[in-house]
């Protein structure tokens, strides 16, 4: 299940990059948005790798739920950071319109990771 969630987030980011590249003559690419989406991609992959490395742990539903919520928050951030194909504003304007939602979802990921660490003691 984790692989499907990760694949959805990665595919959303990559398809957004391809769309921006193909339409760069109509809407200029905004570097800050590319850096932020690249960091979300790295976080998605790092979170998946970290979960894979702790596969020997005796799992409870609470632990699994916390890990999935963190991964879903990253997928949500990957969907929010990329403008939809029918956006009418520039990528820069779209980035500044959605930045609060994106970064609050990333704060939730850190909060979930901290809670998981507290429960494992």
> What pLDDT is attached to residue 112?
53
What confidence tier does 121 reach under pLDDT thresholds 50, 70, 90?
Answer: very low
What's the chain's average pLDDT? 80
What confidence tier does 110 reach under pLDDT thresholds 50, 70, 90?
Answer: low
C-alpha distance from residue 48 to each of 4, 96, 98, 101 (Å): 11, 28, 25, 22
Residue bearing the bigger pLDDT, 66 or 114: 66
> What pLDDT is attached to residue 88?
73
Query: What average pLDDT does this structure show over 88-95?
Result: 77
**119 in helix, strand or coil?**
helix
> What pLDDT is attached to residue 38?
92
> Where exactly are the structural domains of the chain?
2-119
Q: How far apart are CA 44 and CA 8, in angstroms?
A: 10
Burial of residue 9 (number of CB atoms within 10 Å: 0-12, 13-18, 19+):
buried
What confidence tier does 115 reach under pLDDT thresholds 50, 70, 90?
Answer: low
For 27-67, how does the pLDDT look when each residue is reduced to its tens digit (9 = 90+)? 788 888 888 889 989 989 988 888 888 878 788 888 888 78
């Amino acid at each position: 299940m984790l692989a499907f969630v990760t694949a959805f987030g990665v595919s959303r980011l990559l398809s957004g990059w391809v769309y921006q590249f193909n339409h760069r003559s109509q809407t200029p690419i905004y570097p800050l948005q590319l850096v932020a989406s690249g960091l979300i991609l790295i976080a998605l992959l790092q979170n998946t790798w970290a979960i894979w490395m702790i596969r020997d742990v005796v799992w409870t539903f609470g632990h699994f739920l916390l890990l999935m919520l963190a991964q879903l928050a990253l997928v949500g951030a990957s969907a929010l950071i990329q403008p939809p194909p029918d956006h009418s504003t520039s990528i820069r304007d779209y980035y500044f319109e959605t930045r609060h939602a994106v970064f609050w979802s990333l704060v939730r990921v850190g909060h979930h990771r901290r809670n998981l660490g507290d429960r494992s003691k």
